């Protein structure tokens, strides 16, 4: 197996923990919530074997990266600056950036704001949607109806933390199954709305006897749980608490397309992909450099973990098609 090298980078005034594999053109991998660098465990060796220098980071607030206390320290522009700091720390003039879940908007925005440094971008699960005219919290409240849409539920500091920290490992197992393609019929994405005053875990699907979905081992779950037992949950949840600030910060690039080469991979059973159908339909305008948009049949939210071989093949083909930097 390809050797994985852990290191801590001084980037944008904080510490960023990174895991590297391979040599060649740089590819930065950005995870989402509730994950870590480990969600790219299947991609690191595959990209290295294909001739690339892959770097999976722990986003600020996760794992062994710094976790600033202020909620506003997790706004989108801070994450973009972190990614630039990672390139500077690596001595990389340019890189391709790949993101999943919250990592996808971070990757999309990095390529939008700094196409000179991020020469291409791939987003998994969450399609690119330029900043619109409707404040996001208003849109999320409308999506919830009589219930709370999960992003609205995450807004109150301490509320979701209190639920999750009662049983971190059990909560992670619940969300990983419930948002995956392995969720029982009728259960997919039921967790996305929460009864007002209720808990998200009450909408999770019942776990199988094995305790984990088929694509996740008990050992994998142990790794994720240990990371959050170390870092806590507030850093990751604070990303959701900045959606309104992001909308204000990014007004200057409202409705702007991403012009660098791009790739999108979603799942046919994934909530963000399904909610983003209108955004996908607009790709000819919003992603003029799009090379492919692929929806994996039967795949849920955890794209690169549920379907690693297909994702690896798509990523390598995308990267190979770019040519040398």
Q: What is the pLDDT of residue 186?
A: 65
Q: What is the pLDDT of residue 188?
A: 59
Sign, Cα dihedral of 279, 299, 103, 196: positive
Question: 284: part of which helix (H) or strand (E)?
Answer: helix 283-286
Q: What is the mean pLDDT of each run of 10 residues along the chain (325 residues)?
A: 89 98 98 98 98 98 96 98 98 98 98 98 97 88 86 94 95 94 77 88 83 91 95 96 96 96 97 92 97 97 98 98 87
Helix then strand count (H, E) for the chain reads 15, 10
What pLDDT is recorded for position 56? 98
Rg (CA), the chain: 18
Q: Which of 111, 96, 50, 106 is nearest to 322 (CA)?
A: 96
- Contact of 8 with 64, CB cutoff 8 Å: yes
Annotated catalytic residues are 101, 301
- The domain of 41 spans 5-322
pLDDT at 44: 98
Contact between residue 249 and residue 80 where contact means Cβ atoms under 8 Å apart: no
Q: How far apart are CA 119 and CA 111, in angstroms?
A: 7
Domain count, the chain: 1
Q: Domain of 153: which CATH number?
A: 3.40.50.1820
């Amino acid at each position: 197996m390809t050797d994985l090298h852990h290191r801590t980078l001084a980037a944008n005034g904080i510490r960023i923990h990174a895991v590297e594999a391979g040599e060649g053109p740089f590819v930065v991998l950005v995870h989402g919530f509730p994950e870590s660098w480990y969600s790219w465990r299947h991609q690191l060796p595959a990209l290295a074997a294909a001739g690339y220098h892959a770097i999976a980071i722990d986003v600020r607030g996760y794992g062994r990266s710094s976790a600033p206390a202020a909620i506003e320290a997790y706004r989108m522009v801070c994450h973009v600056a972190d990614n630039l700091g990672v390139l500077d720390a690596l001595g990389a003039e340019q890189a391709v950036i790949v993101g999943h879940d919250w990592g996808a908007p971070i990757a999309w925005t990095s390529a939008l704001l700094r196409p000179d440094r991020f020469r291409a971008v791939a987003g998994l699960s969450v399609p690119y949607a330029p900043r619109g005219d409707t404040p996001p919290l208003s849109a999320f409240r409308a999506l919830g109806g009589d219930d709370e849409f999960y992003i609205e539920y995450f807004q109150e500091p301490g509320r979701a933390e209190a639920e999750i920290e009662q049983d971190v490992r059990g909560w992670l197992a619940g969300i990983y199954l419930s948002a995956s393609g392995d969720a029982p019929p009728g259960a997919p994405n039921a967790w996305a709305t929460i009864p007002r005053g209720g808990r998200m875990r009450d909408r999770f699907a019942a776990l199988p006897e094995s305790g984990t979905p088929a694509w996740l081992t008990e050992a994998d779950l142990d790794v994720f749980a240990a990371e959050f037992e170390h870092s806590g949950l507030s850093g990751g949840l604070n990303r959701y608490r900045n959606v309104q600030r992001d909308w204000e910060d990014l007004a200057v690039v409202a409705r702007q397309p991403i012009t660098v080469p791009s790739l999108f991979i979603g799942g046919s059973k994934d909530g963000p992909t399904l909610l983003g159908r209108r955004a996908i339909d607009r790709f000819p305008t919003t992603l003029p450099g799009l090379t492919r948009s692929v929806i994996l049949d039967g795949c849920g939210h955890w794209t690169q973990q549920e379907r690693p071989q297909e994702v690896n093949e798509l990523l390598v083909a995308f990267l190979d098609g770019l040519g040398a930097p």
